[in-house]
Amino acid sequence: MTKAIGIDLGTTYSVAAIIEDGRAKVVENAEGEKLTPSVFAVTTRGHRLVGSVAKRQGATNPERTVTSIKREMGTDHRVSVNGRSYSPQEISAFILRKIKKDVENYLGEAVEKAVITVPAYFNDGQRQATREAGIMAGLNVMRIINEPTAASLAYGLDRESIQTILVWDLGGGTFDVSILELGDGMFHVKAVSGNTSLGGDDWDGRLVGYFADKISDEEGLDIRLDPVSLERLREASEKAKRELSYKTSTRISLPFIKTGNGESRNLEAAIDRGTFEDITADLREKLLGPTKQALTDAKLTVQKIDRVVLVGGSTRMPSVRDLVEETFNKKPFTKINPDEVVGIGAAVQAGVLMGEIDDVVLVDVTPLSLGIESEGGLFAKIIPRNSTIPTSAGQIFTNAEDDQTVMDFHVLQGEREMSMDNISLGQFQLTDIPPLPRGKAQVEVTFQIDVNGIVKVSAEELYTEVKTGIRIDASHLLSDDQVEQVLREAEANAEEDIKRRDEAEINIRADSMIRAAELVMEEKEGKLSGPYKHRIERAILNLKEALSEDESEVIRERTGELKSVISEQ
């Protein structure tokens, strides 16, 4: 039977999983890792890099490296890389295409179907954009499901007695809260809330600012002025954040940082966990607002929550886990790796749709209210938020003027009272309305939401039965022709990708050698002599520069040099 992939398309890392022998299994990528960095880059020679190799060379090639593109999904944002403009869907498609290829290499067969997860609070435009990215990557996207719901599927909490679960999903770029009622094979999402602009990247940013200020005060050097140095600081700050989850203090080291006069300096800075928690205290507090909103929408108190499930690598931070205990008076539920749990849940849902798993029923909800702009610029809600999907609902509207034969409809999503404060999803027009006195025409507007949370809207004049409508496809999303163009380009590049297989393998070996060298320094921290440590750091930096320049022979040579240096220990 053909397999379907479950994909957690994350802000910082993505995960792929499949059902194998009745159980969900995370599939390792070509680099032998379970997490694929959601990073895209173009080298100076114009070759595209995706994943770990793209991330590794990012510190020396920041202008041509794209990270955290998920935060821009569903917007008209464009990113220019090496003279070409890309949409968020296109960048995401490169990542999904790599994931697809890695799974196919593991299975030894083609894979065409996928379930892709999104933050629970993603609006319609963001969900549409995610689906488009999947299509561009050559995938039949069977279902878009919410990340917290996927996490609950992964845990199999529905197999137990009926209980109420609250899921905190703090990823690299987004934060979601979902409240679910589970049991007897049923998943009923009662409420969702969140913040699509809050994630681990923000904690990283605080560390970048802290270290940059400290280096400026102590060394008189503004590291923010040089893009390469700043990117290396970001890389070091992300590592420091991870270390502070299991250490009480850590130190970053930035060797060979260029100064304004062309010289190089070795910079170091330290931070303890208490200071880190102090400078990010306001970010931690931002987790509470959406949590209270979800509880209010579900008409529940904290005492009614049976379990709190943590999802996303950023939930490893002790301050986040402490906040769970302070708020809910119980320890969080963390039996599955928080980086992998969403991908595993997506695979479970894929298994359900493919008939590999039985006895699971998923009942999801729409995260935001849907409606149209009415007279006076008001927002008329037709489907309230947290309505179970799939669903449909209609409402009768009338003409605002005498003899009005045309009505314009502005479709919106949000919770504000005024239309201008909500998210615009699209507009359409109903014509040939009979010329009647004001208030006499009868026009029914109907919303339909499918299982993926994607919307169709129609309007029908009830006397003449004239009807029109749209499938919501906001103007900033790509047209079918543009999607087809991307698919054609993917096919055209397939042969080149095959030709570059050897080069890719060289890059993978280089990436593995860098990881091995960094592990040596980490394991022997304090035991290596200063000169020897700097030789390793210089060899690592030289190899990263070679990766960004994309010269295979140079990469091969510098990989050997780094291996030689490490073997001296």
Residue 569: half-sphere exposure toward Cβ, Cα within 13 Å: 16
Phi, psi (5° rounding) for residue 225?
A: -80, -20
For the record, the structure tokens of 110 come out as 């083609």
* Given 3, 31, 55, 70, the catalytic residue: 70
Q: Per 3-state DSSP, what percentage of the chain is helix, strand, and coil (rounded to 5)?
A: 40, 30, 30
Place of tokens 């919106």: 412
User: What is the DSSP secondary structure assignment for residue 333, as one 8-state letter?
Assistant: B
Report how far residue 103's alpha carbon sits from residue 18's, in angstroms, rounded to the nearest whole number: 9
The answer to whether the peptide bond before residue 390 is cis (omega within 30 degrees of 0) is: yes
- 349: nearest Cα among 144, 175, 54: 144
Q: How many CB atoms lie within 10 A of CB 82?
A: 15
* Given 124, 147, 364, 473, the catalytic residue: 147
For the record, the structure tokens of 236 come out as 């070091």
* Given 31, 169, 204, 339, the catalytic residue: 169
Report how far residue 250's alpha carbon sits from residue 425's, in angstroms, rounded to the nearest whole number: 46
Instruction: Count Cβ neighbours within 10 Å for each residue of 239-249 and write b for 16 or more, e otherwise.
Output: bbbbbbbeeee
Report how far residue 553's alpha carbon sits from residue 384's, in angstroms, rounded to the nearest whole number: 59
Report how far residue 172's alpha carbon sits from residue 430's, in angstroms, rounded to the nearest whole number: 43
- Looking only at Cα atoms, what is the longest distance across the chain? 91
- The yes-or-no answer on residue 502 being catalytic is no
Q: Is the dihedral of CA 224, 229, 231, 234 positive or negative?
A: negative
User: What is the DSSP secondary structure assignment for residue 435, as one 8-state letter?
Assistant: -
- 471: nearest Cα among 449, 456, 460, 459: 456
- The yes-or-no answer on residue 169 being catalytic is yes
- The yes-or-no answer on residue 147 being catalytic is yes
For the record, the structure tokens of 500 come out as 């570059």
* Given 3, 8, 238, 533, the catalytic residue: 8
Cα-Cα-Cα-Cα torsion 214, 218, 219, 222, nearest 10 degrees, comes to: 30
- The yes-or-no answer on residue 499 being catalytic is no
Active site residues: 8, 70, 147, 169
